[in-house]
């Protein structure tokens, strides 16, 4: 299967994780799963923690957020919808503040894109969590401040469809209808995209972190870009990690 994490919205409100790195890399897409936006996506959107702690996460308060190339521009370069295409709240990782403006990491191509949004269009809260991924070591570590919360082995992309390195953040949490399926009980969509696949099975090649029905493949280069963890671990992560959590993917 070896699918990259791609999501698309059905009219009925269901989600298709069309290609999220589940299964072995044999080109078989039979393991596609339907999912619904889990309640954790809203319940853990931004943790209520002291403003001096951790990353700053901005959550949209209106139906859209206009994004500008700089704080001095008159016209936006893009407009993003809230909620997003999968029904999750629109969130951003704040890079810096400048008066009434915020420079934020954006969930769009190309990877690493940033833009300026008006502070009045969002609420901002701190998030003490972060995720560090070492691709060569097949290792994922979740920190809460200086505390290690999770330290686990992972499956990553193959040489031909690698997991892209860089700085991202969690933009959505999805719950597949079959917790024993290719994506496990939960799948996080990240703000990054495959650098190899522009689209896959109707989606735009979003990368993600999710469970798996093949735990024996963890520790190997097996996916089309997504990161796989065992189902117990993704369940633990889904219970505590807010949307907007920074994700650093290193070689």
Catalytic choice (20, 138, 143, 226): 226
Enumerate long-range contacts of 98-103, CB under 8 Å, 24 or more apart: 98/71, 99/71, 101/71, 102/58, 103/71
Q: What does the block give as tokens for 76?
A: 């936006």
Paired strand residues for 228 = 155, 210
Non-local CB neighbours of 74 within 8 Å, separated by 6+ positions? none
For residue 226, indicate whether it is catalytic: yes
Cα–Cα distance list, 225 to 34, 62, 186 (Å): 19, 32, 17
Cβ 38 vs Cβ 236: under 8 Å: no
Of the candidates 37, 42, 1, the one whose C-alpha atom is nearest the C-alpha of residue 18 is 1
Residue 243 DSSP SS3? coil
Catalytic choice (138, 210, 224, 248): 210
Cβ 42 vs Cβ 89: under 8 Å: yes
Residues acting as catalytic residues: 210, 226
């Amino acid at each position: 299967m070896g699918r990259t994490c791609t999501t698309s919205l059905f009219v009925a409100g269901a989600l298709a994780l069309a290609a999220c790195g589940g299964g072995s890399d044999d080109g078989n897409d039979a393991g596609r799963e339907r999912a619904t936006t889990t309640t954790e996506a809203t319940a853990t959107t931004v943790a209520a923690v002291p403003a001096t702690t951790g990353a700053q996460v901005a959550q949209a308060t209106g139906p859209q957020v206009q994004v500008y190339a700089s704080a001095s521009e008159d016209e936006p370069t893009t407009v993003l919808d809230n909620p997003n295409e999968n029904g999750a709240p629109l969130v951003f990782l704040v890079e810096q503040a400048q008066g009434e403006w915020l420079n934020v990491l954006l969930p769009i191509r190309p990877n690493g894109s940033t833009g300026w949004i008006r502070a009045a269009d969002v609420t901002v809260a701190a998030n003490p969590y972060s995720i560090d991924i070492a691709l060569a070591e097949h290792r994922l570590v979740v920190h809460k401040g200086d505390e290690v919360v999770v330290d686990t082995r992972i499956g990553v992309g193959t040489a031909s469809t690698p997991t892209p390195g860089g700085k991202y953040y969690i933009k959505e949490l999805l719950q597949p209808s079959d917790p024993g399926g290719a994506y496990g009980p939960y799948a996080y969509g990240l703000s990054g995209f495959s650098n190899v696949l522009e689209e896959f099975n109707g989606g735009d090649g979003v990368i993600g972190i999710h469970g798996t029905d093949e735990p024996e493949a963890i520790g190997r280069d097996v996916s089309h870009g997504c990161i796989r963890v065992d189902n117990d671990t993704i369940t633990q992560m889904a219970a505590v990690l807010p949307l907007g959590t920074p994700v650093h993917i290193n070689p």
